[in-house]
Structure 1
Amino acid sequence: MASNADYRAVYRQENIGPSYSGKAHFAFVLAFTLGGIAFCVWRLEAVSALEWLTIPLTFLYANLVEYVGHRWVMHRYVPGLGLIYKRHAGQHHRFFTDRHMALEGWQDCRVVLFPAVLMVFFFGAFALPIGLLLAWLATPNVAWLFVATALGYYLNYELLHLAYHLPEDSSLLQFPFLRRLRRLHHRHHESTLMAHKNFNITYPIGDWLFRTRV
């Protein structure tokens, strides 16, 4: 089997074109999520105490979606979703192993961040329809709060995941809570554990519920 350095070199040559910019990719994630959140907040009108409960409920829902998607889509082959499985289990986990967790430059964001087209697709396929349903079944405020929280959770997901793959001496990793979360993700990248344990990327609520935290 090729060494990690060899695999990374081949991956970059085959999958990261000269026009790719990790900084632009990261900037798009920030602009898409923060812009969407700002628009949702702008649309809110006289939010009631009950409507504010949408935020923690959406947070819990998003955490379980993160867990289920990571465990049963990214680490299990599902017909029609094979590209996600290949990109994550087949590429991300070969590029980043428990012994080689750090990215080596902005170009490696291609292996960490969701592709922009997938991000827009998932928003259009999941967050937007649920938001429209909530606007019909509940109130517009509930719908806007749901979409804003979902976007905020996704941004939180990307920022934390990117932080976990920063070099060990990064100043960000000096925060104790971030180091604790990173250790959980580091263990997930062990070849014997990656398909079985520590599926939450953000906060291990799903792992606690399903007893998969180590």
Structure 2
Amino acid sequence: MKPISLLLLILLSQNSFSQVIDTSDIFDVDKNYRLILKPAVERRINKMIAPIAQKKLQEFKDRNHEMLQSLTVQQNQDEIQFTEDTIRINEFLSEYTNSYSMAGTTMGMNWGESKRLDVYDQLLNKYYQKSLLILQPAMKDKLITSQKRWLDYYNKEKKFIYDLNDFGNQNSSLYNWGYYFEMMEERVLFLKDLYNRSFNGTKTYIN
């Protein structure tokens, strides 16, 4: 795709932003006209953060050795995987922000926060599905109802917060993303606790 065509697609699909920016150096546009990182850029970032993420993960294991040993094999693996996932997204966005000037634009910062939210959305679904497998039937039904209600609340709150700002500048955009992420992170951590059997009801978990 020629640079001018890419820029045109971006401007058409990102009309809520006030800046006119040529992002062709690190971004492509997918078939739904959404910004995506070029594969080469994503590979470079992942390569750069790999040793840092590995070091931080090992530090976590060393620091929490006794806690990890007290878990079942599956819970141990899940705890390590959760930590690795969260370390990687934080390091990914740090490298992205520090290495590319485009990341400091309204468009670039919004892409980064969207990326973070996407990762946590995947974690949300992962721990929701895992929790369903270990709950007693009646409690499983209650979780399904709870999750539906939470998703309805989350989507309505996002719409309300979006309406409070016009997404016309960096501050309002990032203010919104922060609220979206807080809601998502809180629910992810709740479901993770549920899966880790942190609750003590006699009718909660399958033995």
- Name the TM tier (shorter chain): 0.3 to 0.5
TM-score by length of 1: 0.31
TM-score by length of 2: 0.32
Indicate the structure whose relative CO is greater, using CA pairs within 8 Å and at least 6 residues apart: 1
